[in-house]
Amino acid sequence: MKLFATTAEALVPLLQQELSQLGAERIESRRAGVAFQGDDALAYRCCLWSRYANRILLPVTSFHAATPEALYAGITEISWERHLHSSGTLAIDVTADRSDLKHSHYAMLTAKDAIVDRYRKKFNQRPDIDSENPDLRLHLLLHADRVQISVDLSGGSLHRRGYRQQGGAAPLKENLAAALLALAHWPEISREGGALYDPMCGSATLLIEAAMMSADIAPGLTRSHFGFSRWRKFHPEIWQAIHAEASQRRQQGLSHCPPIVGTDRDPHIITIANENITAAGLEAQISVSQSDRVTPPPVKVTPGLIIVNPPYGMRIGEGDDLSDAYQQLRTLHRENPEWPLVIFSGNPELVQRHFRGVVAPTPQDLNNGAIPCQLYQYPVRNADAATAPLSGAITLFANRLQKNLKHLQRWARREAVNCYRIYDADLPEDAVAIDLYPDIHGERWVHLQEYAAPSSIDPQLASDRLQQIQSALPQLLALSPEQIALKVRQRQRGKSQYRATAEAQQHLTVREAAALLEINLFDYLDTGLFLDHRPIRLKIAALAKGKRFLNLFCYSGSATVHAALGGAIRSSSVDLSPTYLRWCERNFALNQIDSGQHLLVQDDVLQWLERSSGRSNPPQYDLIFLDPPTFSNSKRSENTFDIQEAHPTLISQAMQLLAADGTLIFSTNFRRFKLDESLGQSWQLREITAQTIDEDFRRNPKIHRCWEIKHSQPS
């Protein structure tokens, strides 16, 4: 089934990762949610287990309807009897986005009339309308002259878990609370035994969501109803098995929940919090108490996470009391440096006033309902170093890094980019590149590479600067030092080349669009994923449907993975290195790619090309990716390879394998590269470098050059 999970725009990346972990396939992020595919079991599992989705929708059909008459006609044609018995009950929710149908309520009534009239004509009986608890809830999306109608399998927003008996004056939605905890790295902290403390806990939403995460409790386990339960295509036996498994996991997980503690100054809200905690069945895992002021976290628990959603001054909390609350949080942070502090607030002026001078990552933009808010994260600090001011040079670096992050994080969320470069030798004395790699579990890792400093920079100063940057990054990016991989990268000359640098064998899995890809930040100078080639890989995925694909110098096979997921019917990936081909195999396995249709070939690419192109009937490919190294003197190869000298022969031989209407994409990272102009006499050459430079490499567009090469058309 094609399915769609709705959520707030800022939560789309989290939802995308979650759906992948639940087993969804063909995942595509959209502005208002995530499209994916799966069977009935996955649909039920997503309704039960999704912490970040609002609804799980099953699109029934879409069509053009610029008038109520067209809307009525289109909906009448749908076989609603497959979804709802004629004696059942029905509700329709409408979302309108710049629709030609101006009145959403009238559109809802038109859709209802169309469905009811169809039943009356076919069965002489009609379903009733029940907006509160219907047998079938439908969702009508109106955009321009387009209509999409879906079955709401969730049966109402999934943020309503079922445990909230009452809310305070300004309660967080449950799925937003879960997202805040994920962004604050609570799952990782809790796995290590760290506690959670909320000094302004309100009705305990953050506390309950934190406990459910730690104890592996499905967020929908306390719900009394899902939309699919009275749907005519419902399979109760599948649902019962999924529900039973979730119940068992809850029982096992409760014993692994670390201490979760909350306080609030309002005794009435503490009563409400306790009622909600009891309804969730988490009295043994969560403790709350009344306190007139913010107090330190319990001394007997392992330091973990302080997270708080203080009043903003819009609905609760005003004047001096509000300012005092933020000052108490600043004191809490200063006196408990071993606890990271996370603040979710809609009052940036108060946060910035009371936390001025505290270095932290750029806050993340999120909305709490209609209120624009930010998530501020203040990482663990060394108590002595926390009071020492940063040197002027490091302050300049920190400011540039924060400026880059603010811009790039927004771009990455908008474009659904996960792994990207956040700094690239922006300042001459700081000749480093910094890449951010969040893995599929939400944990962030950093790849820090040192370049050879400019001749104008004293080598000792460059070395000192690198140490200062390495020391500052954990605080600037809210990471532990163990999550930062440092590499020293130099130009390759003579018999030098990139080799293994360590033997950590710490493999991580990251997501790029629809692909899951393995990276290794510690063992090699390169990670297994060239970030600057991201647009090229996505271009290959877009071109690959129904094509025969050839990947020369295939490295870890990421381009082949994208081609296969994009619909390539078969492929060959050639590389001399057995290490890289084993890497390809693991990437194939991560993405369930059939190795029978997608072949891995261990061979010297130059020799393989020479043999293949020299055949009387050479193999033909519709799409070829040729991305040679700049320089290589591998022990397995007889000759030293230099891209400037070798590229005319390489391209000529590869073109012998390209089908008549095919495309060869040639890329090189050699910055002084000059394409042999005589190649243009035989083939169509079009440089597409500008189209293959993403936002994170705009400052340094010479990172690579890329051409699209095709056979000349007969005149």
The domains found in the chain, sorted by start residue, are 2-152 (3.30.2130.30), 174-217+255-386 (3.40.50.150), 392-488 (3.30.750.80), 507-711 (3.40.50.150)
473 vs 464: CA distance, rounded Å: 14
Kindly state the DSSP code that residue 616 receives in the 8-state scheme. S
- 273-296 pLDDT, tens per residue? 999 999 999 999 999 999 999 999
- Residue 580: CB partners within 8 Å, gap ≥ 6? 554, 555, 556, 557
326 vs 575: CA distance, rounded Å: 58
Q: What is the mean pLDDT of the chain?
A: 89
Note the residue count of the chain.
715
- 219-237 pLDDT, tens per residue? 999 998 999 999 999 999 9
The answer, as to whether pTM is greater than 0.95, is no
267 vs 264: CA distance, rounded Å: 7
Residue identified by tokens 């109608």 is 149
Higher pLDDT: 163 or 494? It is 163
Higher pLDDT: 188 or 638? It is 188
What pLDDT does residue 324 have? Answer: 87
H helix intervals, 202-260: 205-214, 236-253
Higher pLDDT: 446 or 103? It is 446
Which of 424, 664, 197 lies closest to 189, judged by CA? 197
Alpha carbon dihedral 408, 409, 414, 417, in 10-degree steps, equals 80
AA identity, residue 424:
D
Q: What would the mean pLDDT of 127-144 be, rounded to a whole number?
A: 92
CA 554, 559, 561, 564 dihedral sign is negative
332 vs 355: CA distance, rounded Å: 11
What pLDDT does residue 635 have? Answer: 52
Q: Given pLDDT bands bounded at 50, 70 and 90, which one contains residue 316?
A: very low
Q: Which of 84-98, 192-206, 446-460, 477-491 has the highest mean pLDDT?
A: 192-206
AA identity, residue 445:
W
What pLDDT does residue 309 have? Answer: 96
427 vs 621: CA distance, rounded Å: 44
Q: Please say if the pLDDT value at position 505 is more than 70.
A: no
Count of C-beta atoms within a 10 Å radius of residue 457: 15
Q: Please say if the pLDDT value at position 359 is more than 70.
A: no
Higher pLDDT: 370 or 14? It is 14
What pLDDT does residue 152 have? Answer: 97
Q: Please say if the pLDDT value at position 33 is more than 80.
A: yes
Count of C-beta atoms within a 10 Å radius of residue 585: 14
pLDDT above 70 coverage of the chain, percent: 91
89 vs 100: CA distance, rounded Å: 29
34 vs 6: CA distance, rounded Å: 7
In the Cβ-directed half-sphere of 25, how many Cα atoms lie within 13 Å? Answer: 13
